[in-house]
Amino acid sequence: MPRTATTGLTPAGERILAAAGELFYAQGIRAVGVEMISEVAGTTKKTLYDRFGSKDALVALYLQRRAERWRAFVHEHLERHAPEPGRYRVLAVLDALSAWNVDATRGCAFVNAYAEIGGTDHPGLAVVRAEKSWTRSLYVRLLEEAGLDADRAAELGLRMTLLHEGALILMTAGEVADAIGHARAAAAEALDLAFGDEPAAHESAAHGHEVTTAPRAAADAEPADAEPADGAGRPTPADPTHAAVADLAGRLGVDAAAITVAAVQEVTWRDSSLGCPKPGMAYQQMLVDGHRIVLEHAGHRYEYHAGGRRGPFLCDDPQPPASVTTSRGAALR
């Protein structure tokens, strides 16, 4: 493991840093004093100052340790779920963000820290700025690896970063249900415009895998004033199966021909969660027309949901729809 700013601590130092990290994130930097940290860590204030010098230095190391953990988490997620260059590797950053924030009740630790130490000479500010710069650089690099030239990658990378950071704010302060999912949908649209409507050859869901979808001409023939299924701005795609297969193939790093479509249903969801609620989140009560798609690979089932402007997205804890209009494929079980 490479040596970093937070490796090489003594056992007492590690306990202090771990306790400080939990307390700073849960309660805020200013609300937590060195007495509380020392008590939780089972040590003394003298030991804390001997190891870290000051509370400000401890805060900076807490942020640095969290940044290291986040970057390692993203790298592992990309290598496992989207190892090949392409648009799905870019989107996988937002998937990693969603997975990281499952238990993150207070949102982004770096934004929270900036709210408390911004406008000062606190050493933690450099860590916060470096983390946000790293996020933007990551998107730019992945876009260049996907085939965009430097200028286009820089421009689109900034947009991806704005979606990424905006989702972090709205998921907590804005209380927007599935803010990261909305950001991912917007990012996918931006990538489609940048790369063209069809995925690149190594990303395509075709590869000999036959999926019945509505002809593009039929979708283009929708009247301009057609009412969207959920009033969100456009009709739900006639059949998002192709996109779901492509997404799962990208996540698993396999050829789309290895993905089996077990079932596709035209459904009506009960609320804006589209049958995929997350604990602690509030959703608008509404009926949304959409699709439920069940895919299989290597003995595992994966359920995708779509509706309105969202989807298809992978649902980890699917709930039943309000009603089912039509079905095809294998029966759901």
What is the predicted pLDDT for the residue at 238? 52
Q: Flag whether 144 is in a domain.
A: yes
CB 101 within 8 A of CB 79: no
Q: Does the pLDDT at position 50 exceed 90?
A: yes
156 and 267 inside one domain:
no
What is the predicted pLDDT for the residue at 307? 86
176 and 229 inside one domain:
no
Final residue in a domain of this structure, among 194, 218, 233: 194
Q: Flag whether 6 is in a domain.
A: no
Task: Report how far apart, in Å, the C-alpha atoms of 294 and of each of 35, 153, 237, 250, 308 are.
Answer: 53, 34, 17, 16, 19
65 and 97 inside one domain:
yes
Q: Flag whether 270 is in a domain.
A: yes
143 and 228 inside one domain:
no
Region 197-217 average pLDDT:
35
Q: Does the pLDDT at position 33 exceed 60?
A: yes
Q: 302 lies in which domain range?
A: 205-329
* Secondary structure of 239-257 in HEC code, one letter for each residue: CCHHHHHHHHHHHHCCCHH
Region 48-52 average pLDDT:
95
162 and 278 inside one domain:
no
Neighbours of 257 (CB within 10 A): 14
CB 90 within 8 A of CB 143: yes
Q: Does the pLDDT at position 231 exceed 90?
A: no
Final residue in a domain of this structure, among 129, 162, 194: 194
Q: Flag whether 2 is in a domain.
A: no
146 and 257 inside one domain:
no
230 and 154 inside one domain:
no
111 and 16 inside one domain:
yes
183 and 62 inside one domain:
yes
What is the predicted pLDDT for the residue at 313? 87
Structure tokens at 218: 């039929």
Q: What is the CATH number of the domain that holds 41?
A: 1.10.357.10
Final residue in a domain of this structure, among 134, 164, 194: 194
Q: Flag whether 200 is in a domain.
A: no
Region 75-79 average pLDDT:
93
Among 21-25, 47-51, 214-218, name the one with the lowest average pLDDT.
Answer: 214-218
Q: Flag whether 90 is in a domain.
A: yes
238 and 113 inside one domain:
no
Give 34: exposed, middle or buried? Use CB within 10 Å, 0-12, 13-18, 19+: middle
Among 31-40, 80-89, 218-227, name the one with the lowest average pLDDT.
Answer: 218-227
Average pLDDT, the chain: 82
145 and 236 inside one domain:
no
Question: Pick the residue with more confidence: 330 or 12?
Answer: 12
41 and 183 inside one domain:
yes
Q: Flag whether 86 is in a domain.
A: yes
